[in-house]
Structure 1
Amino acid sequence: MSTGPAWSGAFDRGALQEVVGLPVAEVREWAFGGSTGGGVRVAVIDSGIDADHPRVGGVSGGVAFHLDAEAELGYVEDEGPHGDLVGHGTACAGIIRAIAPDAEIYSVRVLGANLKGRGALLHAGVEWSVERGMHVANLSLSSKAEAMFGPLHEVADEAYFSGTVLVCAANNLPGPTYPSQYASVISVASRAGAESMGLAYNAHPPVEFGARGIDVDVAWAEHGSITATGNSFAAPHVTGMVTLMRSKHPWLTPFQVKAVLHAASDNSLSG
């Protein structure tokens, strides 16, 4: 029985089932081969990014959202440079950069120094990403609040129909969280023993994909690094793959991206 984060057990040896993907020959080469992520705008919706971290190599822009009881919406947004309050967002950005070195990464800070935030800020971060035309958004965070089910569902659909691919980590603990439960997103959990580009499909969703996320060496605060485990670190591996794919095939829609990932999974009969 798996002792990893929630949903990781679905990707354990013996639990993983073969699935039938698109009948595309050498699908991984078609999807990723030769791509470096150039021209793709990637939003990391998280605790911020340390742009000077050597594993990040700079960011192309960003915004920080802050709670403000006196503001009309209950929060304010500050576009421009900002740091990482924890190290979590830097970890995600470093993983994406390692897979897609030429991606244009944007920091969207919605979490505080305690690695927590309000659902309204998460919603605002996704909305900002859609309005700014991000091609991919990494969400290694989620909301348990039932009150956010509707608003986050609505903005996730906006992303889906506008062409922004949302890659969402499942919660590390059992129970529904949003937006990872929605069919419009690419939901990800940790998979033990996976390589950087390793990918598996779960035949029993809602969490659909498994990627490397257990005992991962990741960038962290103060230009350092840590070994970390969590679905949070599986999601940016998939975000990196999506970035490669959208750089090479910019015409792909979000539902086509998911279908190609399905076909490119290690347990796909076509992969």
Structure 2
Amino acid sequence: KDDALGGATGAGVRVGIIDSGIDNEHPAVAGAVRGWAEPTLGEDGSVTYNLQPHDDLYGHGTACAGIIHRIAPEAELYSVRVLGQGLSGKGTVFAAGLRWAIENGMRVVNLSLGTTSPKYFAEFHHLVQDAYYHGTVLVTAANNMPIMSYPSLYAAAVSVACHDRAAGDDPLEFYCNPDPPVEFGAPGVDVRVAWLDKGYATVTGNSFAAPHMTGIVARLLSSHPGLTPYQVKTVLSVIADNVRPRR
């Protein structure tokens, strides 16, 4: 793991966070957000993007951003707001946000959300493949319930759930799952995270495991910028804490 990550800080890596927005002034984020996008649908189905700074409507996005910033403090964060105050949104808006992240040079995108609607299967499959060929690593949280959820089930994405250990003091502790579709386990139990109103909360869920992996991927790409998404996943599977070194 030291060879893969070294002293990398995430410098030079653009990280998209598709969520409920980010409080860029929260101490845990510390002004790391470099850009914003908020897709909206017109009556005719067309998509427009508001690129003005926005805040967090729920706290979820700020929580993810704080985790990523802790692990990769020099990564450039981009907030793509697709979720509202009830932490819900439209699948078409979610897809538009992911499309924006892919087309605007994100090297890694954190997706602590998903859709269970079969009607979006083909669209998200196409977007995940598009991300792969653009060199964008998609880190996706598995659904907290044992149900089909996208895009975490696509092979080209990095799927993450929380492992059964408390977060503790090592945010870099993660495991490789030999029995996919969920491929990796990262801290997601009783994690202290940034929240609304400059506050903090203790939370549990796959949503908070994914940004741990996103931060690790940002550091990996900072240290080895030429890696493809496939190579990133391969390296992660080799440096996981439950993989014994070959003698």
What is the TM-score of this pair, normalised by structure 2? 0.95
Out of 182, 191, 196, the residue aligned to residue 171 of structure 2 is 196
- Please give the secondary structure, in 2, of the residue aligned with 1:217: strand
Return 5+ residue gaps in structure 1 as ranges: 1-27
- Please give the secondary structure, in 1, of the residue aligned with 2:126: helix
Moved more, 203-212 or 115-124: 115-124
The correspondence of residues 62-77 of structure 1 with structure 2, limited to 5 A, is 62-68=36-42, 70-73=43-46, 75-77=47-49
CA distance in 1, matches of 2:21, 2:83: 8
Q: Which digits, 9 at most, give the CA deviation of each residue in 1:144-174, with x for residues without a partner? A: 0000000000000000111000000001111
Out of 110, 132, 157, the residue aligned to residue 82 of structure 2 is 110
CA distance in 2, matches of 1:261, 1:174: 24
Which residue matches 1:95? 67
Which residue matches 1:15? none
How much has 1:76 moved relative to structure 2? 3.3
Q: For residue 11 of structure 2, what is the amino acid of its counterpart?
A: G
How much has 1:192 moved relative to structure 2? 2.3
CA distance in 2, matches of 1:72, 1:202: 40
Which residue matches 1:60? 34
Structure 1 position 228 matched with structure 2 position 203: yes
Number of residue pairs matched? 242
Q: Which digits, 9 at most, give the CA deviation of each residue in 1:60-109, with x for residues without a partner? A: 001012344x1433x53211200000000000000000000000000000
Identity %: 52
Return 5+ residue gaps in structure 2 as ranges: none
What is the TM-score of this pair, normalised by structure 1? 0.87
Moved more, 28-37 or 190-199: 190-199
Structure with the larger RCO, 1 or 2 (CA within 8 Å, 6+ apart): 1
Which residue matches 1:16? none
- Please give the secondary structure, in 2, of the residue aligned with 1:138: strand
CA distance in 2, matches of 1:41, 1:79: 16
Which residue matches 1:128? 100
Structure 1 position 36 matched with structure 2 position 9: yes
